[in-house]
Each structure stands twice: as C-alpha cells, then as structure tokens.
Amino acid sequence: MDFVERIDLLLKEKNLKRSALCDDLELTHSAISDWKKRGTIPSGDVCVKIAKYLNVDVEYLITGCQKKEPEKVQVKTDNSFILQTLSALQNDIDKTFQTAIDALKK
C-alpha cells in the first residue's frame, strides 16, 4: 500500500472525502491524484498536516509502519544493597557528629 492508498483508506475509515481534506488543508483538488500518478509524496509539512487531520502518526502515513511503543523496563531493586548503603551513610553521619561534639568539649 502506498502513501495515497493509505490516505484513501483512512479517509474511508473516517467517512471523509478527498475534497474535504483538500479544502480543509488548502491543497489543490488534484494534489492527491498528482502524488499517485508521480509516485511521490508531498513535503514534510504537508505530510504532518495530513497526518494530524487524519489523526495518525506521520511515520505510519509515509511508511505504513506503526510506531512501536517503547518497551517498559522493569528495574529490580536490591533492597539489601540499599539498606547497606543507608547503614554506611548513617555510620558516617554518626562519626562526623561525634567528632563535632568531641571538638566542642575541648
């Protein structure tokens, strides 16, 4: 399926006409037919306007490929490592605090 065929399919799914798309986006009524005859696609900004009009991703409109959702990465936390780190930090704080108290006593 090419660019124009995807436009036609999306228009059909949304019960819209080519003429409405052209009027709303200020394209000539022969624009879509011309792209089909030449085997071309319009400039990027026109592709973006068409994609927004048809409520699809521009990548799908141009290539026919759906954008994949990024995989969700599940991060496992090692609670024992976190607890050890917090404990070490607490010990450092306690030592610093005790050193400060000792210095004040002198």
pLDDT for the residue numbered 31: 93
pLDDT of residue 77: 65
Question: Is the CB of residue 94 less than 8 Å from the CB of residue 101?
Answer: no
For 35, other C-beta atoms within 10 Å of its C-beta total: 18
Say which residues have a Cβ less than 8 Å from residue 24's Cβ, sequence separation at least 6.
53
What is the reported pTM?
0.62
Return the ∠ at Cα 7 (arms to 16 and 66), rounded to 5°.
Answer: 120
Q: Are 40 and 80 in contact (CB under 8 A)?
A: no
pLDDT at 82: 77
* pLDDT single digits (tens) 58-85: 999 999 887 666 566 666 666 777 778 8
* Confidence at residue 49, expressed as pLDDT on a 0 to 100 scale: 95
Tell me which of 104 and 25 has the higher pLDDT.
25
Digit-coded pLDDT (tens) for 18-36: 999 999 999 999 999 999 9
Cα distances (angstroms) measured from residue 29 to each of 11, 13, 24, 25: 15, 20, 11, 11
CB atoms closer than 10 angstroms to residue 2? 13
Would you state the pLDDT for residue 43?
92
Confidence (pLDDT) at 34 = 94
